[in-house]
């Protein structure tokens, strides 16, 4: 069922995992390990050109161009490197995970009730799920809809049942059982049909993929955390991308709501670069060198960058507060947050959450727990080889492949 899946394919099969975010495309070649988990053999990144004023067509064109660069790199140097260092040949599957703002999504419960018990068949579940897809499309075109997508020109990216209840009780394997009430918690995401087709065309031609699987980052990260880390029943997930931060609220083990706001790591880099009169590339490089221990953390330059970043992160905290307030509708936000962010930035965002945010989010004086989804946390499940890189979303996606 939903949370028990492990990476598909025999040990040794090479898989391409591509993540498309708001500022960059990241591609990795991974394989299963005999001892469990996955190995990351090769990682490549391409960053979009920055736009001061958003132009949707240019933004999409920049993404597609970056995707093509990453796909060609994986097909050529990446595959060759994986073959040389591990003996793996050929890419067997291609999976693509898209973060905001490339999709819209909704989680909702849908029920079927009868006076007498009825058998629960897969067909019944499928029909209810399709009804929910249709209802979400209708919500998207309703007057005053918050979903910025043309539902008539949208394709379904995810349509998954994340919990099934029979007569009010969660049931992992409902098929064949009888009940008077069947309740599904369904997650549905929609993506612009033209964008999805462009993504699939690039991956199909560059990586010779007949049917590249595409899914949302929200669902991939939720499934990964639920399936691998066995968290508390109530928590939040923060995915800090380049230009956008995604926020997911999980209640009683259900992905209840998700939202995003337009602030991420790239905003901080630009702020630090402007404040210190440095090039953005130099700021980003300095952060990486400091994290890797190749630059002095106590140097004057490192202190200046750290101070400028902390001065700027208050705006991000404010954006997060507003997003959580919308999602929670006044209820206390869970005490535990799982943080997915580039390793170069984890310490900064984790500190900001602990020192600047907990009273605002929890509406209480209880401690606010921040769990970094980092290399240490996932050490048992992943191994990063010389030419690979630890990217939290890539690891979670690799460990919990799409439902079949």
pLDDT number for residue 365: 56
Residues 262 and 324 in one domain: yes
Boundary (domain end) residue, out of 138, 165, 191: 191
Residues 23 and 90 in one domain: yes
**Residue 389 in domain:** yes
User: What distance in Å separates the CA atoms of residue 158 and residue 145, rounded to the nearest whole number?
Assistant: 20
Residues 154 and 303 in one domain: no
Boundary (domain end) residue, out of 163, 191, 219: 191
Q: Give average pLDDT by consecutive 10-residue segment, the chain, 404 residues.
A: 42 87 95 90 91 79 97 96 87 93 90 93 93 89 74 89 93 92 94 95 92 93 89 90 91 88 87 86 78 71 80 86 83 87 86 72 65 91 93 93 66
Identify the CATH number of the domain in which residue 78 sits: 3.30.420.40
| Domain enclosing residue 30, as ranges | 14-102+194-227+378-399
User: What distance in Å separates the CA atoms of residue 216 and residue 236, rounded to the nearest whole number?
Assistant: 17
Residues 96 and 122 in one domain: no
Could you give the 3-state DSSP secondary structure of residue 78? Answer: helix
Residues 49 and 132 in one domain: no
Residues 348 and 244 in one domain: yes
Residues 98 and 115 in one domain: no
pLDDT number for residue 366: 62
Closest by CA to 164, choosing from 219, 104, 121, is 121
Residues 341 and 290 in one domain: yes
pLDDT number for residue 311: 81
Q: Where are the beta strands (DSSP E) in 193-242?
A: 213-216, 235-240
Residues 263 and 219 in one domain: no
- Which residues sit opposite 161 in a β-bridge? 186
**Residue 308 in domain:** yes
Identify the CATH number of the domain in which residue 153 sits: 3.30.1490.110
pLDDT number for residue 1: 31
**Residue 1 in domain:** no
Q: 354-361 — which CB contacts under 8 Å span 24+ positions?
A: 356/313, 356/314, 356/317, 357/317, 357/320, 357/321, 360/317, 360/321, 361/320, 361/321, 361/324, 361/333, 361/337
Boundary (domain end) residue, out of 191, 216, 239: 191
CB 218 within 8 A of CB 19: no
**Residue 2 in domain:** no
Residues 357 and 292 in one domain: yes
Residues 217 and 235 in one domain: no
**Residue 5 in domain:** no
Residues 71 and 213 in one domain: yes
User: What distance in Å separates the CA atoms of residue 74 and residue 77, rounded to the nearest whole number?
Assistant: 6
pLDDT number for residue 358: 58
Could you give the 3-state DSSP secondary structure of residue 17? Answer: strand
**Residue 296 in domain:** yes
What does the DSSP assignment read for 340-356? E--GGGHHHHHHHIIII
**Residue 289 in domain:** yes
Could you give the 3-state DSSP secondary structure of residue 170? Answer: strand
Counting the structural domains of the chain, the total is: 3
How long, in residues, is the chain?
404
**Residue 95 in domain:** yes
């Amino acid at each position: 069922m939903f949370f028990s899946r492990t990476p598909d394919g025999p040990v040794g099969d090479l898989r391409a995992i591509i993540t498309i975010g708001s500022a960059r495309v990241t591609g990795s070649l991974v394989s299963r390990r005999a001892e469990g988990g996955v190995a990351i053999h090769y990682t490549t990144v391409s960053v979009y050109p920055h736009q001061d004023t958003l132009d949707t067509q240019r933004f999409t064109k920049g993404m597609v161009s970056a995707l093509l660069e990453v796909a060609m790199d994986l097909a050529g140097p990446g595959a060759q490197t994986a073959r040389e260092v591990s003996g793996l040949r050929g890419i067997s599957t291609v999976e693509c995970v898209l973060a905001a703002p490339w999709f819209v999504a909704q989680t909702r419960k849908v029920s079927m009730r009868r006076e007498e018990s009825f058998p629960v068949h897969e067909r019944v579940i499928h029909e209810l799920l399709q009804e929910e897809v249709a209802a979400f499309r209708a919500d998207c075109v309703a007057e005053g809809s918050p979903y910025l997508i043309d539902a008539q020109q949208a394709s379904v990216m995810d349509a998954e049942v994340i919990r099934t209840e029979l007569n009010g009780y969660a049931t992992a394997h409902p098929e064949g059982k009888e009940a008077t009430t069947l309740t599904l918690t369904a997650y549905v995401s929609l993506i612009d049909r033209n964008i999805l087709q462009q993504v699939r065309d690039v991956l199909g031609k560059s990586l010779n993929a007949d049917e590249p699987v595409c899914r949302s980052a929200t669902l991939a990260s939720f499934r990964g955390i639920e399936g691998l880390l066995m968290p508390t029943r109530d928590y939040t997930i923060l995915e800090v991308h380049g230009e956008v931060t995604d926020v997911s609220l999980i209640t009683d083990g259900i992905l209840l709501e998700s939202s995003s706001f337009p602030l991420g790591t790239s905003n901080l880099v630009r702020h630090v670069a402007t404040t210190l009169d440095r090039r953005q590339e130099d700021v980003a490089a300095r952060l990486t060198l400091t994290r890797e221990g190749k630059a002095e953390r106590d140097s004057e330059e490192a202190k200046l960058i750290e101070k400028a970043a902390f001065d700027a992160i208050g705006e991000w905290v404010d954006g997060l507060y507003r997003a959580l307030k919308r999602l929670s509708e006044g209820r206390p936000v869970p005490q535990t947050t799982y943080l997915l962010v580039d390793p170069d930035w984890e310490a900064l965002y984790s500190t900001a959450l602990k020192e600047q945010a907990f009273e605002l989010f929890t509406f209480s004086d209880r401690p606010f727990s921040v769990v970094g989804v980092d290399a240490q946390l996932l050490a048992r499940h992943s191994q990063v080889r010389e030419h690979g890189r630890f990217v939290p979303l890539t690891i979670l996606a690799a460990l919990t492949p799409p439902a079949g």
